[in-house]
Amino acid sequence: MSVDVGGIVVHLEHLTAEKQAVLVEQVRRIVRAAPLFRPEMPSGRKMSVRMTSAGTFGWTSDRAGYRYERQHPNGMDWPPMPPIALDIWRDVAGVARDPQSCLINFYDGDAKMGLHQDRDEADMEMPVVSISLGDEALFRVGGAKRGGKTQSIWLKSGDVAVMGGAARLNYHGIDRIRANSSTLLPNGGRINLTLRCVD
Ligand code: MD6
Ligand code: FE
């Protein structure tokens, strides 16, 4: 079943419990090779979310701004895209291209992500596909201008959201995590994977 939240299509329970567990293993392998880091925002504040990436490009941020890079801050190329994430993109994205970047966000119980637009990519015809694993997260979606009305949904483990078409530049963010709402990750927390075409 899918629901529309402010133009973002959320495929509820898209992933079986088994698929979720396999995807977590694929993410763990990536994180072992390309450790999570806490980027600095252009303001100089550190994000509360820890992140890493897989694929040709990874998203990163520091005082110089938000951007994609071909290497992890430690200088290595990003590991290959997790195969299950690629399958999910091909299922739901509805475009001929494959994604070039898989951003991996890790939220502990206190992490959140402020309202933002995804606008560091070259082709806004390409959607963003977002996969949720672990603890539930309150996802807020507004319009393409800051300050308008917003709608919220609790994203659960196994849900897949597609932000494309007229919603591609909608503001969105994570208000909070519901700690211990899932048993997928033994130490709790939430993993979010976002897949994108970059250039
Ligand atoms: C998150 N997601 O779910 C943060 N961006 O943790 C995003 O920032 C996001 O879910 C673009 C499209 C879908 C998303
Ligand atoms: Fe985003």
The C-alpha atoms of residue 126 and residue 100 are separated, in whole angstroms, by 11
Q: Please state the pTM of the whole predicted model.
A: 0.97
- What are the tens digits of pLDDT across the range 99-146? 999 999 999 999 999 999 999 999 999 999 999 999 999 999 999 999
Instruction: Determine the residue of 194, 195, 197 to mutate for testing ligand 1's pocket, defined as the one with the most ligand atoms within 8 A of the Cβ atom.
Output: 194
- What are the tens digits of pLDDT across the range 32-49? 999 999 999 999 999 999
Instruction: Determine the residue of 61, 117, 192, 197 to mutate for testing ligand 1's pocket, defined as the one with the most ligand atoms within 8 A of the Cβ atom.
Output: 192
Rounded to the nearest 5 degrees, what angle is found at the Cα of 147, between the Cα atoms of 146 and 151? 95
Number of domains in the chain: 1
Determine the structural domain holding residue 168 and report its residue range: 2-196
Closest CA to 197 of 76, 85, 102: 102
Query: What sign does the CA torsion over 144, 124, 95, 29 have?
Result: negative
- The answer to whether the CB of 170 is under 6 A from ligand 1 is no
Rounded to the nearest integer, the mean pLDDT of the chain is 98
CATH number of the domain enclosing 190: 2.60.120.590
- What are the tens digits of pLDDT across the range 77-87? 999 999 999 99
